[in-house]
């Protein structure tokens, strides 16, 4: 018995564990996901702080500068608008909570 059987379950398990240990950090990092010309999704790692890889618009220094108004249409997706919507949602939730609390007070 010079070599253990390479097909044995134990060796397969060890190899599987080693493969997972070596690849999990890589595979769990955010991926690009851009549509490729082959119809699939790009699996390259997304650039730091970006949603796309360096080939798909995530390159450092690329993209519009912060606060750029060039593509502004109605501004409902702007940072200020999103903050305003969040503020309104908070107030609406507080009103709903208050209404249900007062209903409970009246019914008891």
Residues near Zn ion (CB under 5 A) = 32, 34, 42, 44, 53, 56
Write out 64-97 in H/E/C secondary structure.
CCCCCCCCCCCCCCCHHHHHHHHHHHHHHHHHHH
Of the two residues 4 and 61, which places its CB atom closer to Zn ion in the complex?
61
Of the two residues 28 and 107, which places its CB atom closer to Zn ion in the complex?
28
The two tokens of residue 27 are 């595979």
In the complex, the smallest distance separating the C-beta of residue 17 from Zn ion, rounded to whole angstroms, is 30
Of the two residues 53 and 107, which places its CB atom closer to Zn ion in the complex?
53
Closest CA to 55 of 82, 35, 27, 28: 35
In the complex, the smallest distance separating the C-beta of residue 100 from Zn ion, rounded to whole angstroms, is 47
CB 42 within 8 A of CB 34: yes
In the complex, the smallest distance separating the C-beta of residue 51 from Zn ion, rounded to whole angstroms, is 10
Of the two residues 6 and 39, which places its CB atom closer to Zn ion in the complex?
39
């Amino acid at each position: 018995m010079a070599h253990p059987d390479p097909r044995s379950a134990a060796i397969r398990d060890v190899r599987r564990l080693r493969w997972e240990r070596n690849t999990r950090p890589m595979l769990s990092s955010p991926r690009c996901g851009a549509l490729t010309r082959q119809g699939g999704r790009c699996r390259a790692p997304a650039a730091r702080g970006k949603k796309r890889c360096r080939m798909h618009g995530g390159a450092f220094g690329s993209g519009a500068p912060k606060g750029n108004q060039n593509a502004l249409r109605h501004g409902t997706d702007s940072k200020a608008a999103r903050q305003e919507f969040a503020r309104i949602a908070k107030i609406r939730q507080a009103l709903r909570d208050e209404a249900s609390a007062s209903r409970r007070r009246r019914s008891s």
